[in-house]
Amino acid sequence: MEFRRTHYTSHVTPEMNGQTVKLAGWVHEIRDLGGIMFLVLRDREGMAQITLFKKTIDPEVLKTAKALSRESVVLVEGDVKAEAKAPGGYELVPIKIDRLNPVKSPLPMDTTGKVDAELDTRLDNRFMDVRRPRTQAVFHIRHHMLSAVREFLEQEGFIEINTPKVVATATEGGTALFPITYFDTEAFLNQSPQLFKQLMMSGGMDKVFEIGPIFRAEEHDTRRHLNEATSIDIEASFMDHEDVMVILENLVVYVYEKVAERAVPSLKTLGIEL
Q: Does 95 bind a copy of itself (CB under 8 A)?
A: no
Specify the residue, 56 or 127, whose C-beta has the smaller distance to a copy of itself. 127
User: How far is residue 170's CA from residue 181's CA, in Å, rounded to a whole number?
Assistant: 15
Least Å distance between CB 71 and a copy of itself? 10
User: How far is residue 197's CA from residue 235's CA, in Å, rounded to a whole number?
Assistant: 6
Specify the residue, 71 or 91, whose C-beta has the smaller distance to a copy of itself. 71
Least Å distance between CB 41 and a copy of itself? 11
For 122-151, b/e burial (b = at least 16 CB within 10 A) is beebeebbebbbebbbeebbeebbeebbee
Q: Does 161 bind a copy of itself (CB under 8 A)?
A: yes
Q: Which one of residues 15, 32, 60, 160 is an interface residue with a copy of itself (CB under 8 A)?
A: 160
Q: Which one of residues 107, 166, 264, 274 is an interface residue with a copy of itself (CB under 8 A)?
A: 166
Q: Which one of residues 77, 91, 129, 235 is an interface residue with a copy of itself (CB under 8 A)?
A: 129
Residue 94 and residue 77 in contact, taking contact as beta carbons nearer than 8 Å? yes
Q: What is the DSSP string of 170-181?
A: -SSSSS---EEE
User: How far is residue 49's CA from residue 97's CA, in Å, rounded to a whole number?
Assistant: 13
Residue 136 and residue 10 in contact, taking contact as beta carbons nearer than 8 Å? no
Choose the stretch contacting a copy of itself; rule: CB under 8 A; options: 33-41, 83-91, 136-144, 249-257.
136-144
Residues making up the chain, counted from first to last: 274
Least Å distance between CB 240 and a copy of itself? 8
Residue 147 and residue 211 in contact, taking contact as beta carbons nearer than 8 Å? no
Q: What is the DSSP string of 128-147?
A: HHTTSHHHHHHHHHHHHHHH
Specify the residue, 40 or 57, whose C-beta has the smaller distance to a copy of itself. 40
> Using CB under 8 A as the criterion, what x/- string covers residues 202-231 for binding a copy of itself?
xxxxxx----xx-x-x-x-------xx-x-
**Residues that contact a copy of itself, how many (by CB under 8 A):** 60
Specify the residue, 25 or 88, whose C-beta has the smaller distance to a copy of itself. 25
| Subset of residues 244 to 273 that bind a copy of itself, contact rule: CB under 8 A | none
Taking residue 3's Cβ as centre, other Cβ atoms within 10 Å add up to: 12
Q: Does 186 bind a copy of itself (CB under 8 A)?
A: no
User: How far is residue 91's CA from residue 87's CA, in Å, rounded to a whole number?
Assistant: 8
- Interface ranges with a copy of itself (CB under 8 A): 3-5, 24-26, 42-44, 75, 126-131, 135-136, 139-140, 142-143, 146-147, 150, 154, 159-162, 164-166, 178-183, 189, 199-200, 202-207, 212-213, 215, 217, 219, 227-228, 230, 238-240, 243
